Amino acid sequence: MPVRPASAAEPVTILRVAVPSPLRRSFDYTLPTDSASIPEVLQPGIRLRVPFGNRELTGILLEIGDTTEVSADKLKPAIEILDQKSLIPGHLLKLWLWAARYYQHPIGDALHTLMPTGLRGKAQAGIKTRKGDVMLSGTTEPDHPDREGELTDEQLQACNAICATHGAFQCFLLDGVTGSGKTEIYLQVISDTLAHDRQVLVLVPEISLTPQTVARFRQRFPQKSIAIMHSGLTPRQRLNAWLAAARGEADIIIGTRSAIFTPLARPGLIVIDEEHDSSFKQQDGFRYSARDLGVIRAQSEAIPIVLGSATPSLESLHNALSGRYRHLRLTRRPGNARLPATRLIDTNGQTLEDGFSTELIRCIRQHVDKGNQALVFINRRGFAPVLQCRDCGWTAECRHCDARMTLHRTPMHLRCHHCERREPVHTHCPECQGKALLAVGMGTERSEALLQRHFPDTRVIRVDRDATSRKHELDDLLAEINQGTPCILVGTQMLAKGHHFPAVTLVAVLDADSGLFSADFRGQEFMAQLLVQVSGRAGRADNTDRSGEVLIQTRHSTHQSLQTLINQGYHALAEQLLDERRLAGMPPYAALAILRAEAINAGAPAQFLSAARTQAEALLAQMPNGHLVQISGPLPAPMEKRANRYRQQLLLRSPQRADLQNLLSVLCLQLEQMNTQRNVRWSVDVDPQDMI
């Protein structure tokens, strides 16, 4: 029961502080003994230095009170108050705390993660600019300004609908085919928001999309200041952008996932481009969804939010179809641009050359000979996914993961793409000492080598994580591609997301089958999104001479999902998948969470999760709707061993989100107290996007 730490005649101010620790609670302190550091007005959202065990940590003030459950002799004074006024607006601090509770993450650790690196210590919250920092502003027209184009009727209707909600919350799903002009709608609506002296927050899924997004925004809004926020910047650059947004000095903030927590002095609009992309869900640590939190934030700030995609996630599509979101459709490309014609190439019974059929090579040659560009998509890095002995069947496997080592040739080595372990390439089979080692399967390096053999006079550009690891390397490659000279692009999904390549007239997908038989229940959804997105890179020029063509190689050309996608489109397949999810009681028709555990000891995770399940069942027995919550497991993760740790998981599912949250909030506190958890790392993933 709360008690006063002192007599009523001597009231004591209690500071409730979120401290970066794995404990799911806040901690109470008294005012610093040094009164000089105490601001005139104490506000939640300021930073403090506090003692924590034998360390000093920077925490965030959550609340000021006069009662505490801590005995007076154990209360410690804070060391120093670092800020004179709050860095986080009250409504945004509430959102941060709500997110920590909803995603079942320790409050202090969550807030510490969301704070810019430059503010996690004792540094003062001031902007220090240097050449090349992230604030972009200017007063001159660019050399090639991006003028507003004439809108189609569909674009105009979408713009009018969004602009009409100025100053009120509404979530819009801007559902437009690839190349339908969604970015132009963003720009028009942003222009209207800026005219009302409001700020705009724009989220993109990948760092690689930021430069082209910034370039187009700079062309359209040369008089406005733009702040950029992503993990590729220095801590000082990110802090400058964060503070500029918080002070209202930045008109447009463009960033990746974590930018959703950036304070805005004059919030007016949130735009989330490619909202379906799984990059918006943090996959480790504080596992939040920037897309979902964007909707919650827009509601709390009474502003509109636009979720844009050519392949909406099933969750967003369900919300639009049920009326929770307003559904805006763009069904065609503007001007003379047309959607590409798509055709399947059945590779059953064919002899492939390093994954390429004869027909595919012939089509690439036709497009390149016409002065166009071709894009070859294979979502697998390296030269080959398997190194195998032809004599005894041995394969190179990772010692630390249940995975095979991928063969890379630039430079030559074996690498595990899950734990990044590297080994030299064997000259002899370790099992039989034979020399018949074969590279089996396809990767981007192998595809690049084949294309260079067949097209020695044509530039072949590989775009994957290995080829763009150095700073500015990706920007340089994209700039070369956008010059429009004939070339062949070969790469991973880095090429599939949001890029505009006007000279690309052919998209070739080497293998469309991996997503058809995925262990993840979202596998077919992800497969369809990826195929549609990469196909949308073809035929984007407003020129009938550059119409697009898409060729998809598959060994399962009669598969129902693939046939539906090709012949009827993404939305027809999405409807089928939604029906399957409804019958199976899976998201978006149910709430899902995964309790994950991992340890060096193979049996420890299952033992921990078995105990967790016992506790969960006891809690459910006391809940009114506890019988509706289903628990599955413990089960081995699809990749049981990863980075030398064994992994198990417990699946919890409920038709009512509130029932699942009530269970998790109590269960997590109990699991913190378990002695066995010291040997086991465990985490909770609410609304998981990745089942692996």
Provide the 10 A C-beta neighbour count for residue 306.
27
Strands 170-176 and 304-309: parallel
How far from chain centre, in Å, is Cα 43? Answer: 33
* DSSP tag of 265: S
CATH of domain 153-330: 3.40.50.300
**591-686 has which fold?**
Alpha-Beta Plaits (3.30.70)
Same fold, 14-119 and 153-330: no
Rounded distance between C-alpha atoms, residue 212 and residue 593, angstroms: 36
Rounded distance between C-alpha atoms, residue 237 and residue 232, angstroms: 10
Cβ-in-10-Å burial (0-12, 13-18, 19+) of 149 comes to: middle
375: which residues sit within 8 A by CB, 6+ positions away? Answer: 488, 489, 490, 491, 495, 501, 504, 506, 507, 508, 534, 537, 538
pLDDT tens readout for residues 374-406? 999 998 999 999 999 999 999 999 999 999 999
Rounded distance between C-alpha atoms, residue 660 and residue 33, angstroms: 44
Contact 377, 497 (CB under 8 A): no
Beta strands in 177-325 (DSSP E): 199-203, 226-229, 252-255, 267-273, 304-309
Rounded distance between C-alpha atoms, residue 218 and residue 391, angstroms: 60
Superfamily of domain 341-381+443-581: P-loop containing nucleotide triphosphate hydrolases (3.40.50.300)
∠ Cα 238 294 478 (to 5°): 55
pLDDT of residue 179: 82
Rounded distance between C-alpha atoms, residue 499 and residue 463, angstroms: 12
Strands 504-509 and 487-491: unpaired
Can you list the residues of the chain whose pLDDT is less than 50?
A: 1, 6-9, 134, 136-147
Rounded distance between C-alpha atoms, residue 571 and residue 310, angstroms: 10
Do you find a cis peptide bond into 655, omega within 30 degrees of 0?
A: no
∠ Cα 267 272 274 (to 5°): 170
Rounded distance between C-alpha atoms, residue 651 and residue 476, angstroms: 44
pLDDT tens readout for residues 326-382? 999 999 888 777 888 899 999 988 889 998 999 999 999 999 999 999 999 998 999
Distance set, CA 632 to CA 76, 110, 357, 565, 624 (Å): 44, 28, 44, 32, 20
pLDDT of residue 103: 96
Q: Which helix (H) or strand (E) element contains residue 449?
A: helix 444-454
Closest CA relative to residue 355, chosen from 552, 555, 511, 489 = 511
Q: Which helix (H) or strand (E) element contains residue 383?
A: none
**Per residue, what are the HEC states of 646-662?**
EEEEEEEEECCHHHHHH
Closest CA relative to residue 261, chosen from 96, 474, 438 = 96
Contact 439, 386 (CB under 8 A): yes
pLDDT of residue 567: 92
Strands 412-415 and 504-509: unpaired
Closest CA relative to residue 410, chosen from 457, 440, 446 = 446
1: which residues sit within 8 A by CB, 6+ positions away? Answer: 69
pLDDT of residue 144: 39
CATH class of 14-119: alpha beta
Domain boundaries defined on the chain: 14-119, 153-330, 341-381+443-581, 385-440, 591-686
pLDDT of residue 129: 64
Using only the alpha carbons of the chain, give its radius of gyration. 27
Contact 498, 517 (CB under 8 A): no
Distance set, CA 581 to CA 173, 522, 524 (Å): 21, 10, 12
Structure tokens at 222: 């040369």
Rounded distance between C-alpha atoms, residue 378 and residue 489, angstroms: 11
Torsion sign across C-alpha atoms 93, 96, 100, 103: positive
Cβ-in-10-Å burial (0-12, 13-18, 19+) of 365 comes to: middle
Contact 344, 558 (CB under 8 A): no
